[in-house]
Amino acid sequence: MKPAAFEYRKASTVEEAVEQLTQLGDDAKLLAGGQSLVAMMNFRLVRPSALVDVKGILDLQYVEANGEGLKIGALTPHRWIETMEDPGVLEGFSVLKSAARWVGHYPIRTLGTFGGSIAHADPSAEWCMLATLLDAEMVVVGPGGERMIPASDFFQGFFTTALEPDEMIIEVRFPEPAPYAALQEFARRAGDYGIVAAAVALDLQGGECRSARVVLGGVSDVPLRIPEAEQVLEGADIGQEVFKEAGQEAAKVIDPPSDVQGTAEYRRDLAATLIQRALTEAVAKVKEAADAR
Amino acid sequence: MKDTHPIEITVNGRVHEIEVESRRTLADVLRHDLGYTGTHLGCEHGICGACTVLLDGLPVRSCLLFGVQADECEVETVEGLESDGRLNPLQEAFSAHHGLQCGFCTPGFLMLATGFLRENLDPTEEEVREAVSSNLCRCTGYQGIIEAVLDAAGKGGERTETAADETAASETSRNQEESVSVEDVSLSGAGEANQ
Ligand SMILES: Cc1cc2nc3c(=O)[nH]c(=O)nc-3n(C[C@H](O)[C@H](O)[C@H](O)COP(=O)(O)OP(=O)(O)OC[C@H]3O[C@@H](n4cnc5c(N)ncnc54)[C@H](O)[C@@H]3O)c2cc1C
Ligand code: FES
Ligand code: FES
């Protein structure tokens, strides 16, 4: 179908974008890569009165090491993350690069942006899951200035976030390196949203797990942390048995939806399997790092 | 009142200056305003890839982009692949490997593969499979498309060859055709056994 009529504006700075959003009122929206918004407009699921095109704010395209952590400009295309080579970034954040290939298809990754995915807040979106997994903070600018929103407050439900209608995400900050993190998902066709996705991060001391994070996508209205699975892992001697138990524990406590893609039961099975796979991948990274030394 | 904007858009090297309504997608600008009807529309929401074109050299879904956003951009469509009525090596490979049947999806696959092969000069089969999974084809079963892209990669993708290269290339393609047809028989046999 064709989208409803709207007024098109272009902004070349963040200040200009926020000013236009404020002027145009609550029905106006930012247009970044358009890879979610235009699809929804074509379906007339949304009918914004005006769009402020921010794609031309090229200053917001960057991936930068920030002390221990990482800063990603909101308008950085998915494809940049997929093709990043900087060893300084990859050492702590290789999970971003390896997850990028799951984010939509190649021609969607050329236009779609990191900040757009976070703002769109699909509960199975890889960037939203990794933001939750790694305690990212969103740097947001509105008419009143800048504020930081931690991921745990940011995602509030299906496509619902803590953003005000006249606010813009300018940057996403990952505070600490996560060398032993991994994301695994299953979709019927490579590049489609995962039916279920699992992301994990481990902190290991020898063979023992000091702390663990487990986040599932596709099983709730936000990327969901699973403390029950984390508890299974914490303090345990790592190995397939514990991984399996963590997966099974998660499958027990979640209440996933049933739809055309799969029943709740199927999603529970996927969750258990994918958690186990992601943990296996994370530990393989520990071995790789040890071999490299 | 219609919200319209003047844009300057270069399509296959030709500059067009037109006035477009902001809600018009790039696909519709190409098809209806500029007459490049080789770009097809299937789903209009980013799933099928029939509308794939190159925007400043990179493959994009032209149904998920407004024409106004392509102001001052270079667009390449399927019409730009041939030269002087001759198909380019990628198009030849699609023909040789039966990478098309009804042809509806073909412009999208050709532009996807063109962008892909510019970035990946020597792709593995797995990389080709992953790239090809961006688009949908309801006829071929994809095998011919994958073989065509791999074959074209070996020939330098879209590069137009010299006359001497051409004989060599058509010979290799004939040889490959033979070996492919043998594979095809066994593949279709396996398919039947599965049914
Ligand atoms: C077929 C298909 C498959 C896909 N599969 C996946 C997938 O598997 N995983 C995945 O994660 N995504 C997937 N996507 C979505 C894709 O990743 C989008 O790029 C992303 O969701 C939105 O980013 P965008 O830049 O295109 O934003 P847009 O579509 O331009 O905007 C999306 C929303 O965010 C708002 N917005 C955008 N930028 C900002 C900002 N900086 N500040 C505040 N608000 C902003 C817009 O106003 C709009 O409401 C898929 C898309 C398609 C069409
Ligand atoms: S028509 Fe654009 S992706 Fe289907
Ligand atoms: S050839 Fe018919 S859809 Fe692909």
* Partners of residue A145 on adjacent β-strands: A142
Instruction: Supply angle C-alpha A179, A106, A50, rounded to 5.
Output: 100
With respect to residue B195, please indicate whether it lies within any of the assigned structural domains: no
3-state secondary structure of B22: coil
What residue ranges define each of the domains in chain A, with the CATH number in brackets?
A: 7-53 (3.30.43.10), 61-174 (3.30.465.10), 181-292 (3.30.390.50)
Which residue has its alpha carbon closest to ligand 3 atom 4?
B137
Q: What is the DSSP string of A190-211?
A: TTSPPSEEEEEEEEEETTEEEE
Clarify whether residues B156 and B96 are in a common domain.
yes
The answer on pLDDT for B165 being more than 80 is: no
Q: Where are the alpha helices (DSSP H) in B52-140?
A: 89-96, 106-119, 125-132
Mean pLDDT of chain B: 85
With respect to residue B181, please indicate whether it lies within any of the assigned structural domains: no
With respect to residue B190, please indicate whether it lies within any of the assigned structural domains: no
Which of the 8 DSSP states describes residue A177?
Answer: -
How would residue B19 be classed by pLDDT, with cut points 50, 70 and 90? very high
With respect to residue B73, please indicate whether it lies within any of the assigned structural domains: yes
Clarify whether residues B15 and B56 are in a common domain.
yes
Q: Could you tell me where the beta strands, DSSP code E, fall in chain B?
A: 4-11, 14-21, 52-55, 58-61, 74-76
Clarify whether residues B64 and B95 are in a common domain.
no
Tally of domains in chain B: 2
pLDDT at A205: 87
The answer on pLDDT for B166 being more than 80 is: no
Q: Where are the alpha helices (DSSP H) in chain A?
A: 14-24, 37-42, 78-82, 87-100, 106-109, 114-120, 126-133, 151-154, 227-233, 240-253, 264-292
Q: Which of chain B's residues have a Cβ under 8 Å away from the Cβ of A39?
A: 45-46, 64
Q: How many residues does chain B have?
A: 195
With respect to residue B138, please indicate whether it lies within any of the assigned structural domains: yes
pLDDT at B158: 56
Which of the 8 DSSP states describes residue A167?
Answer: -
Clarify whether residues B44 and B13 are in a common domain.
yes
The answer on pLDDT for B162 being more than 60 is: no
pLDDT at A288: 83
pLDDT at A287: 82
Ligand nearest to the CA of B62: 2
Q: Cα of B39 to ligand 2 centre, how many Å?
A: 10
Distance CA A2, CA B91 (A): 31
Q: Are A5 and B2 in contact (CB under 8 A)?
A: yes
Report pTM.
Answer: 0.91
Identity of residue B68: V
What's the rounded mean pLDDT across residues A214-242? 97
Clarify whether residues B102 and B165 are in a common domain.
yes
B82-140 pLDDT tens trace: 999 999 999 999 999 999 999 999 999 999 999 999 999 999 999 999 999 999 999 99
With respect to residue B193, please indicate whether it lies within any of the assigned structural domains: no
With respect to residue B183, please indicate whether it lies within any of the assigned structural domains: no
- Is B115 in the A-facing interface, judged by CB distances under 8 Å? yes
The reply to whether ipTM tops 0.90 is yes
Clarify whether residues B120 and B141 are in a common domain.
yes
Cβ–Cβ gap B25/A2 under 8 Å: yes
The answer on pLDDT for A235 being more than 80 is: yes
Q: Backbone phi, then psi, for A135, in 5-degree steps? A: 55, 45
The answer on pLDDT for B159 being more than 90 is: no
Distance CA B63, CA B52 (A): 8
Cβ neighbours of residue A219 under 8 Å, at least 6 residues apart? Answer: A123, A196, A254, A255, A256, A257, A267, A271
Q: How far is A162 from chain B (nearest CA, A)?
A: 26
Cβ–Cβ gap B46/A106 under 8 Å: no
Cβ–Cβ gap B61/A3 under 8 Å: no
Which range marks the domain in which residue B122 is found? 89-173
Clarify whether residues B125 and B153 are in a common domain.
yes
The answer on pLDDT for A71 being more than 50 is: yes
What's the rounded mean pLDDT across residues A239-254? 97
Cβ–Cβ gap B3/A7 under 8 Å: yes
Q: Which of chain A's residues have a Cβ under 8 Å away from the Cβ of B63?
A: 38, 42
pLDDT at A79: 97
With respect to residue B17, please indicate whether it lies within any of the assigned structural domains: yes
Burial class (CB in 10 A: 0-12, 13-18, 19+), A213: buried
- CATH code of the domain containing B11: 3.10.20.30
A121-176 pLDDT tens trace: 999 999 999 999 999 999 999 999 999 999 999 999 999 999 999 999 999 999 99
Last residue of a domain, one of B56, B80, B104: B80
- CATH code of the domain containing B108: 1.10.150.120
How would residue B1 be classed by pLDDT, with cut points 50, 70 and 90? confident
Is B40 touching ligand 2 by the criterion CB < 6 Å?
no
- Is A85 in the B-facing interface, judged by CB distances under 8 Å? no
Clarify whether residues B74 and B124 are in a common domain.
no
pLDDT at A286: 83
Clarify whether residues B74 and B14 are in a common domain.
yes
Clarify whether residues B60 and B107 are in a common domain.
no
- Is B1 in the A-facing interface, judged by CB distances under 8 Å? no
> What are the structure tokens assigned to A138, written together?
């969103």
How would residue A185 be classed by pLDDT, with cut points 50, 70 and 90? very high
Q: How far is A288 from chain B (nearest CA, A)?
A: 23
Could you count the other beta carbons within 10 Å of the beta carbon of residue A187?
A: 16
pLDDT at B156: 58
Clarify whether residues B98 and B125 are in a common domain.
yes
What's the rounded mean pLDDT across residues B4-28? 98
Q: Are B19 and B26 in contact (CB under 8 A)?
A: no
Clarify whether residues B23 and B65 are in a common domain.
yes
pLDDT at B170: 45
What's the rounded mean pLDDT across residues B70-90? 97
A91-101 pLDDT tens trace: 999 999 999 99
